[in-house]
């Protein structure tokens, strides 16, 4: 059939153009018929009932309101509770996904409280809705201000007097009973909303506990502690990790829900003291409701009966303090701590996490041959890198300790980005030793792989790298020394960290400055090139181990990102070596590849952790304070193992002792439960447990006896006979 438009494209184009020009006027004509937002959604408010504001929207036909787009904010002196809204009509919105909407009308109830002196109820109400027939238009969020006189009989919130001190420690423990359920609605009295007690866990260690009902939270940074009539004594709290929360009163803050245990170290001379008078000031809120004024509580802490308290009363909620045969770590002197740190640093040289880096140093020392000046230079700059790194590490940990954060030895490896970066650094050093890229002009300068510089800089940064990779290891003697440092005054603690560094650097200092030791080294020769390439493989193994750690922290997605980054890094270094004698375009390509390497590393921070499990492998119970309390209350001996995938010492103990048939038979024979806490990722409950035992990190092994009493803390390096004796005694 012949069309009248056939062969006449000009006519067709004119018709299409006319249709296009006609659309905007037609659209404008239809949008002009839309109601103003305040007519489409007529809002009225009724405050006749004290403490309750009733809101009503009258919704015009063909319009609807979103339930989830309503927001309410109180004005000066007005604190709003959670709005009570009916369920809406559920449907899928093409822009907002699954939503609930209202048609025709909706009523909302909004509880509120007002501060003393407030005379009017002022608040803002924000809402959003749409027109559901053509033209399908959504209004932008609209805010209305409400200003009503307060009805007679409205309750006001006024500051409450300090709580009465408990008459005894037993009365303080009674305060730890479960308060009534909270949440939105009528606010509980302060004493019920925030139950507080302070308990002695040792001569210098206190445990403070706040217990809140559901729906209440405590501010971390609004809490202050002081001792009455105690000159020369100082309190050092170590806050566990809290919950990041945006608060309309204080902005971005850290808060705690349900219950929080706060270990506090008492610094100073307690000789002759039997009691401490503690005064605590703190503030908290009801979620979606009112915020309480600052609360003041005072408690009397009996120091003379601390062992009885920690052995019985606390067994229901938290483990007792360590009962080291040789005394707790806080009881050692500074001289003893320094000697332990020196010994720990020396032993650290033999740990598998440090040996790969020391292999780099071995190459440079061997190449120096019989030149005493070169040997001394290597030793001094390597020692300087080690000491500077330990000083920075110590100052950082101590600064965060003063700010109230709970930290431990090796906690930087709880951050997936740090693990990924270290894996890439190990790969780069290995590629350098394999000859893919040369960062320096000679074989000895290959030890500068981390910094990409030659000579003294290479020695210095080899020392830095040695400290970085040493942190997953806890050598014998280190535990007590670090526990002392984590609670000691700033200067004493810094000396302990520096002594650890001296111990780590001491073997190379001895080789550099003692000719008799230097003469024991083999003569340099062509065999060193082979040695250098062989020593690259410990670097690759270390990189593979770090990727395995990352897999346990963030799963397959994180491993994929890091593997892509490592491939891009290898390509960057390969092209860097090839472009040395080439032009600017080749060097630009190196820069582009280097930037591309950063992309998967940046994405690594966005990978969420895998869902946590409540149990681990067969026969092993995942650690939780509640489960430990249940087992102890049932009279079951418990072996608690605090570990992490990045902790080399932990894995060595598992391989030689804990993952053996002998250990499994021992558990069955004694009726003990093997409880494991995984600190690979951040875990506030495990951080609190470590702080209670003055442990600077993992591993930590504690055996709890069958008939109650304090737990027995074992050495960080286990033997089968040691574990067997401890569990046999615990089962009696």
Strand 89-93 relative to strand 129-131: parallel, antiparallel, unpaired?
unpaired
Q: What are the structure tokens assigned to 204, written together?
A: 């210098």
> Could you state, in order of their start, the residue ranges of all structural domains in the chain?
37-157, 169-318, 331-604, 620-730
Any idea which residue has 């440090």 for tokens? Answer: 354
- Taking CA atoms, 71 is separated from 113, 114, 140, 141, 294, in Å, by 17, 19, 14, 10, 27
- Taking CA atoms, 256 is separated from 212, 239, 411, 606, in Å, by 9, 10, 21, 24
Q: What are the structure tokens assigned to 360, written together?
A: 């780099």
Rounded to the nearest 10 degrees, what angle do helices 536-578 and 416-433 cross at?
80
Any idea which residue has 């067994």 for tokens? Answer: 315
pLDDT of residue 708: 76
> Which DSSP string do the residues of 495-548 spell out, in sequence order?
HHHHHHHHHHHHHHHHHHH-HHHHTTSPPP-THHHHHHHHTHHHHHHHHHHHHH
Assign domain 169-318 to a CATH class.
mainly beta
**Is 247 strand, coil or helix?**
strand
pLDDT of residue 28: 41
pLDDT of residue 58: 94
pLDDT of residue 202: 67
Per-residue buried b or exposed e for 92-129, using 16+ beta carbons within 10 Å of the residue's own CB:
eeeeeeebbbbbeebebebbbbbeeebeebbbebebbb
The architecture (CATH level 2) of 620-730 comes to: 3-Layer(aba) Sandwich (3.40)
pLDDT of residue 441: 37
Answer yes or no: same fold for 169-318 and 620-730. Answer: no
CA nearest neighbour of 30 among 57, 62, 58: 62
CATH annotation of 37-157: 2.60.40.1250
- Ranges of residues in the chain with a pLDDT under 50 are 1-7, 9-31, 157-185, 305-330, 440-454, 612-615
Compute the distance between CA of residue 32 and CA of residue 371 in angstroms, rounded to an integer: 92
CA nearest neighbour of 311 among 621, 674, 626, 632: 632
Compute the distance between CA of residue 10 and CA of residue 13 in angstroms, rounded to an integer: 5
pLDDT of residue 404: 52
């Amino acid at each position: 059939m012949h069309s009248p438009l056939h062969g006449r494209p000009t006519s067709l184009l004119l018709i299409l153009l006319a249709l296009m020009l006609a659309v905007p006027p037609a659209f404008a004509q239809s949008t002009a018929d839309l109601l103003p937002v305040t007519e489409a959604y007529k809002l009225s408010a009724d405050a006749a009932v004290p403490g309750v504001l009733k809101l009503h929207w009258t919704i015009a036909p063909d319009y609807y309101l979103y339930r989830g787009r309503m927001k309410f904010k109180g004005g000066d002196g007005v604190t709003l509770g959670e709005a009570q809204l009916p369920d809406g009509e559920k449907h899928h919105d093409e822009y907002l996904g699954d939503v609930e909407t209202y048609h025709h009308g909706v009523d909302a109830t909004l509880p509120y409280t007002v501060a003393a002196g407030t005379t009017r109820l002022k608040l803002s109400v924000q809402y959003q809705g749409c027109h559901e027939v053509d033209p399908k238009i959504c209004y932008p969020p609209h805010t209305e201000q409400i200003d009503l006189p307060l009805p007679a009989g409205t309750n006001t919130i006024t500051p409450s007097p300090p709580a009465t001190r408990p008459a005894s420690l037993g009365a303080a423990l009674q305060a730890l009973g479960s308060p009534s359920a909270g949440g939105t609605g009528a606010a509980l009295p302060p004493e019920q909303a925030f139950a507080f007690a302070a308990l002695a866990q040792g001569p210098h260690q206190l445990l403070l506990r706040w217990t809140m009902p559901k729906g209440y939270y405590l501010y971390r940074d609004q809490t202050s502690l002081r001792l009455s009539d105690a000159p020369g004594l100082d309190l050092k709290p170590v806050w566990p990790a809290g919950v990041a929360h945006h608060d309309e009163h204080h902005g971005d803050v850290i808060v705690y829900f349900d219950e929080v245990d706060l270990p506090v170290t008492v610094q100073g001379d307690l000789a002759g003291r039997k009691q401490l008078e503690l005064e605590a000031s703190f503030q908290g809120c009801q979620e979606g409701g009112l915020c309480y004024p600052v609360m003041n509580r005072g408690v009397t802490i009996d120091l003379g009966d601390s062992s009885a308290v920690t052995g019985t009363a606390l067994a229901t909620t938290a483990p007792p303090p360590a009962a080291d045969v040789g005394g707790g770590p806080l009881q050692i002197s500074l001289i003893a701590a320094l000697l332990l740190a020196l010994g720990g640093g020396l032993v650290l040289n033999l740990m598998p996490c440090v040996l790969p880096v020391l292999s780099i140093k071995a190459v440079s020392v061997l190449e120096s041959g019989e030149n005493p000046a070169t040997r001394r230079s290597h030793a001094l700059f390597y020692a300087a890198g080690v000491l500077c790194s330990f000083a920075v590490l110590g100052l950082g940990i101590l600064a965060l300790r003063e700010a109230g954060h709970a930290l431990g030895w090796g906690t930087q490896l709880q951050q997936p980005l740090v693990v990924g970066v270290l894996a890439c650094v190990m790969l780069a050093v290995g590629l350098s030793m394999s000859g893919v890229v040369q960062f320096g002009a000679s074989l000895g300068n290959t030890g500068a792989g981390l910094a990409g510089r030659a000579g003294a800089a290479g020695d210095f940064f080899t020392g830095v790298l040695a400290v970085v990779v040493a942190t997953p290891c806890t050598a014998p003697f280190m535990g007590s020394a670090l526990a002392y440092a984590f609670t000691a005054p700033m200067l004493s603690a810094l000396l302990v960290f520096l002594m650890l560094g001296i111990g780590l650097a001491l073997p190379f200092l001895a080789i550099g400055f003692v000719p008799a030791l230097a003469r024991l080294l083999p003569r340099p020769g062509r065999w060193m090139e082979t040695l250098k390439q062989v020593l690259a493989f410990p670097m690759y193994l270390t990189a593979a181990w770090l990727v395995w750690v990352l897999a346990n922290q963030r799963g397959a997605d994180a491993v994929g990102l890091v593997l892509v980054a490592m491939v891009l890094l290898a390509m960057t270094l390969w092209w860097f070596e090839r472009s040395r004698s080439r032009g600017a375009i080749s060097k630009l390509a190196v820069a582009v590849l280097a930037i591309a390497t950063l992309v998967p590393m940046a994405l690594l921070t966005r990978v969420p952790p895998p869902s946590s499990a409540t149990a681990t492998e067969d026969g092993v119970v995942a650690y939780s304070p509640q489960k430990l309390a249940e087992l102890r209350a049932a009279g079951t001996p418990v072996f608690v193992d605090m570990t992490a995938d990045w902790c080399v010492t932990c894995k060595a103990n598992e391989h030689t002792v804990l993952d053996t048939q002998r250990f499994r038979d021992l558990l069955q024979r004694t009726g003990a439960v093997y409880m494991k806490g995984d600190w690979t990722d951040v875990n506030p409950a495990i951080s609190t447990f470590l702080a209670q035992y003055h442990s600077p990190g993992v591993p930590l092994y504690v055996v709890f006896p069958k008939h109650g009493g304090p737990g027995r803390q074992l050495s960080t390096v286990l033997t089968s006979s040691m574990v067997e004796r401890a569990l046999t005694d615990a089962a009696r």
